[in-house]
Amino acid sequence: MIPIIPVSDTRPLAGEITLTGLRNPPPLSLYIHIPWCVRKCPYCDFNSHESRNPIPETAYVDALIADLEQATPNIWGRKVRSIFFGGGTPSLFSAEAIDRILSNVRALVQLEYDAEITLEANPGTFEAERFAGFKTAGVNRLSLGIQSFNEKHLKSLGRIHDAKEARNAAKHAIDIFGNVNLDLMYGLPEQTMEEALNDIQTAIDLGPTHISAYHLTLEPNTPFYHKPPVLPDDDSSAEMQESIENLLGKHGYEHYETSAFAKHGKRCRHNLNYWLFGDYLGIGAGAHSKLSFHDHIMRQSRTKQPNAYMKGTVDNTHIDSERILEKEDFGFEFMMNALRLTEGFDITQFSATTGKSLISIEAALRKAEQKGLISRTPTHIAPTLLGQRFLNELLQLFMD
């Protein structure tokens, strides 16, 4: 295995041949996974676990801190630009626990002064005092998993909140944080166009800075996959998507990524770093990392089962897998994320984050351009509307 070299030691010596060609590492984010939820939704394939017993909050926070301490040699000297608490349902944790985590993050890593700090929350866990405590702890952006404001669809999705709780949580979250994302889904079981647009309009009327509108997909190893509900057909779903995009655009939401819409200046910095092949350190049960060094790019994953993860952080056995990316994969890895951005990317970002010249993927770029899936200038590459609609076909060109 190639040794893991701290970033502070990774400047190439004169004449040294490097594998990546990177002179400086890309921007760095921190992801923190909280794996517990009240009830597992039938469509969810994330690493989440129903909290049938009291959550071992203190022990898990201890494990997160130990995990971060053991990981810091891989990010010495680098500033963290964003933090994201994902799950599961991070809002199940107390404000004191979130405060303790963030206090230790500030002590162990260099955090940019205006870092974006997002916490995912479930409307069914809303408590005004606790959410205000999250803000006091340093959380400055909330992502609320609404999914739908329709009672029938909330039940079919297995959500623990009802429509009234969804509206109430969204309203108070916006009052407390200001900077709030509302997660919604469309293409739901037996959903009509009118119902899909009503959900989006309700969200718009509440006034969040960001709306995520995802198409429901049937992921392997989920109850919905093994026993599929009746979903709108492909044509109906495509019409929903187009109508949703038009409605959000009319109300000043910029469509900047496949499923993401933001008011001006409120795009999610954390997710943008993912989409532009930035680095991220993931801590917590099942969390993933992607870290760049002068001689390699590494991907890691943590042990998924919470108890095993907590035990593993004691004896440093919590890393489930680790692999070094092959140079030949850099182009696809970059494009897999960057082509989700509707405005595309500046070509300098490709070499800055992969260390490779764009010429390495020229053949695939030409094919994509010939098929009408991308547009490009000497300085910029972007998916066309056709490329956005047939993103998997576009990405396949770079995989080949």
The pLDDT assigned to 158 comes to 87
Give per-residue pLDDT as tens, 166-224.
999 999 999 999 999 999 999 999 999 999 999 999 999 999 999 999 999 989 988 88
The pLDDT assigned to 106 comes to 97
The pLDDT assigned to 44 comes to 85
Architecture of the domain whose range is 341-399:
Orthogonal Bundle (1.10)
pTM above 0.85, yes or no: yes
The pLDDT assigned to 19 comes to 53
Low-confidence ranges of the chain (pLDDT < 50): 1-18
The pLDDT assigned to 17 comes to 36
* Cβ–Cβ < 8 Å for 268, 116: yes
Give per-residue pLDDT as tens, 259-291.
999 999 999 999 999 999 999 999 999 999 999
The one-letter code for the residue type at 369 is: E
Angstrom CA distances, 9 to 73, 78, 89, 109, 358, stand at: 10, 12, 37, 17, 27
Angstrom CA distances, 18 to 28, 198, 306, stand at: 21, 54, 38
C-alpha closest to that of 178 among 129, 127, 142: 142
The pLDDT assigned to 20 comes to 64
One DSSP character per residue, 24-70 reads SPPPEEEEEEE-EESS--TT--SS-EE--S---HHHHHHHHHHHHHH
Angstrom distance (rounded) from CA 279 to CA 297: 9
Torsion over CA of 116, 122, 128 and 131, rounded to 10 degrees? -30
| Superfamily the domain 21-274 falls into | Aldolase class I (3.20.20.70)
End-to-end CA distance of the chain: 27
* Domain boundaries for CATH 1.10.10.10 within the chain: 341-399
* Domain boundaries for CATH 3.20.20.70 within the chain: 21-274
The pLDDT assigned to 11 comes to 34
